[in-house]
Chain A
Amino acid sequence: MKKSLYSLLFLLTAFVFTSHAQCGDDLLKQALKEMGSSQYIKDFTVELIKEKKDVKTGYVKFSIFLNSNTQYKFNVANGASNIDKVVMQLKDKEATRVLASNLYNGKTFDEFSFVCRKAGVYNLSFSFKGGQEGCAKAVMSLVKQIQ
């Protein structure tokens, strides 16, 4: 009995540490490292979990303001247990039109750069192909100002 209790406690602790490492600060550190020499602006936490009645996860979106004549970078670090890589899409203010995506020619990239030529409000949305559960940390950074 005592032995199984210790095992349970060990498993619970292991679960906590693993899930934290997968989606916590370490993942953000990885995303920041992969940001490279760009100038950090903000980061986004993506945690898509199925609710009881859901068959698929949906998407999460963040509202951002981009300036014209500016090159931004959006890079993402995926949780270790993600089945697929997260799909990151930059959409217009109404979130109806996709302007940029890390999914290109059937390949999912870990980052994309966006040369903004019109200042305004945009939406950054994240989802998983097939609606699986998963987590990710994304970073928005400034690559350069185009004078």
Chain B
Amino acid sequence: MLKKFTYLTLTLAGVFLMTACGGSSNKKSSSDELTFNDSLANAAPLELSEEVMSDVIQNISSPVEMASLIKSTGVEFSQKILNSTNQIDNYNTSFKRALNLGVYSADLGYINTFDKNTIVIDYLVSIKSLAEGIKVGQFFDFNSLKRLATNSNNLDSLMQISISSFNKMDSYLRSQNRSNVSSLIVTGAWIEGLYIAGKVVEQTNNEGLIKRIAEQKDIINILEIILQNYNKQPSFSELAEQLAKLKASYKGVTITTEIGDPKTIEQDGKLVIVQDEISHVDITPEQVSAIIAEINALREFIVS
């Protein structure tokens, strides 16, 4: 009896230890056994490994930063710029769902940045629907998010939890060798951020935003590498073709770097370091218009 009890306790303790020490990134959810029934299921062999892809995807700039920059220009919030949540039923393939999950996530970042909690719920519901459609709904605690969204005092927490949910989902997808899905979400979010910025530039001609759009030249090269990795799938190939047009519109944009004075300041126990390199962007108004036109076309391709 005692022997049996010993084995039982040690087994239980062992299982408990292994589960507890696994860490969140290694946890496997029940969705592991689920596979796609459409174009994202049968990925062709990759030229770049999942590990390299994972590293590359992390380099796509956060749409929240773009939203924050837009807010800092003093421009007013505009809901009509955003992708309407009425579109959701049109996204019936995993390819479209993943891309537009990214689009809505950037919209949510923009909404949260401007504290427009009255429309947050609509976007959360759309995100929930798309996330479940590509089997990653488990990363969003929608009841908590909705609760936070209904109280304007909680908007910072809402922002933090929603970004964190997206980060966890992204890590999970990459750990499960589903970087193709992750890359689409990131592409959708990135292009939506640029699209909103482009709309604001058309309205304000803000120099800071123009510089930010111009500096995305590097990101296009990164995205091109990512999408080309999956270009044996026709939908990815088509997306890459659209991106190539956007890349072409950036051709004349030049970014130069000069070395300035580095500074390290210690103030009130805090350390502030000012970078020594300074970048300068050379872009003409015609180039800005051409880039924005291509951004609009690519965004239309994604949300239509």
Residues of chain A having any CB pair with chain B under 8 Å: 1-2, 5, 8-9, 12-13, 15-16, 19-20, 25, 32, 39-43, 45, 47, 62-65, 67-71, 90, 99-100, 102, 104-105, 109, 111-121, 142, 144-145, 147
| Nearest A residue (CB) for B257 | A118
Alpha-carbon gap, A12 to B24, bound state (A) = 20
Contacts of A100 in B (CB 8 A): 264, 273, 275
Alpha-carbon gap, A20 to B140, bound state (A) = 22
Contacts of A117 in B (CB 8 A): 260, 274-275, 277-279
B window 133-178: CB within 8 A of A: 159-160, 163-164, 167
Q: Mark B284-303, 1 if CB is under 8 A from A, else 0.
A: 00000000000000000000
The residue that B13 contacts in the complex, of A2, A9, A20, A42, with Cβ under 8 A, is A9
- A30: shortest Cβ distance to chain B, in Å? 14
Contacts of B73 in A (CB 8 A): 147
Contacts between chains A and B (CB distance < 8 A), count: 133
B76 in the interface, Cβ–Cβ < 8 Å?
Answer: no
B window 227-285: CB within 8 A of A: 257, 260, 264, 266, 269-279
Alpha-carbon gap, A25 to B168, bound state (A) = 13
Contacts of A70 in B (CB 8 A): 65
- B18: shortest Cβ distance to chain A, in Å? 10
The residue that A104 contacts in the complex, of B6, B219, B271, with Cβ under 8 A, is B271
Could you tell me if B64 and A113 are in contact, using CB atoms closer than 8 angstroms? no
Contacts of A145 in B (CB 8 A): 65, 68-69, 72, 208
| Nearest A residue (CB) for B208 | A147
Contacts of B163 in A (CB 8 A): 40-42
B window 172-219: CB within 8 A of A: 208, 211-212, 215, 218-219
Alpha-carbon gap, A25 to B27, bound state (A) = 14
Alpha-carbon gap, A104 to B270, bound state (A) = 11
Contacts of A16 in B (CB 8 A): 16-17, 20-21
Alpha-carbon gap, A120 to B277, bound state (A) = 11
- A145: shortest Cβ distance to chain B, in Å? 5
Decide: A42 near B167, CB < 8 A? Known: A5-B6, A114-B273.
yes
Alpha-carbon gap, A120 to B59, bound state (A) = 9
The 10 closest A-B pairs by CB, nearest first: A119-B215, A100-B273, A118-B279, A112-B271, A115-B274, A117-B278, A16-B20, A113-B272, A118-B277, A117-B275
Residue total for B at the interface (Cβ-Cβ under 8 A) = 52
Contacts of A19 in B (CB 8 A): 20-21
Contacts of A32 in B (CB 8 A): 160
Q: Mark B25-64, 1 if CB is under 8 A from A, else 0.
A: 1000000000000000000000000000001101111101
Could you tell me if A120 and B218 are in contact, using CB atoms closer than 8 angstroms? yes
Could you tell me if A67 and B212 are in contact, using CB atoms closer than 8 angstroms? yes
- A15: shortest Cβ distance to chain B, in Å? 8
Contacts of A118 in B (CB 8 A): 257, 275, 277-279
Contacts of B260 in A (CB 8 A): 117
A–B complex contacts, Cβ < 8 Å, 7 sampled? A16-B21, A70-B65, A114-B272, A115-B272, A118-B275, A118-B278, A145-B72
Could you tell me if B215 and A67 are in contact, using CB atoms closer than 8 angstroms? yes
Alpha-carbon gap, A45 to B222, bound state (A) = 24
Could you tell me if B2 and A1 are in contact, using CB atoms closer than 8 angstroms? yes
Alpha-carbon gap, A63 to B260, bound state (A) = 24
Alpha-carbon gap, A71 to B269, bound state (A) = 17
Alpha-carbon gap, A65 to B2, bound state (A) = 58
Alpha-carbon gap, A41 to B58, bound state (A) = 12
Contacts of B65 in A (CB 8 A): 41, 67, 70, 142, 145
Could you tell me if A113 and B58 are in contact, using CB atoms closer than 8 angstroms? no
Decide: A68 near B167, CB < 8 A? Known: A5-B5, A119-B218, A121-B218.
no
Could you tell me if B271 and A113 are in contact, using CB atoms closer than 8 angstroms? yes
- A63: shortest Cβ distance to chain B, in Å? 5
Alpha-carbon gap, A112 to B285, bound state (A) = 37
Contacts of A102 in B (CB 8 A): 271
Contacts of A40 in B (CB 8 A): 159-160, 163-164
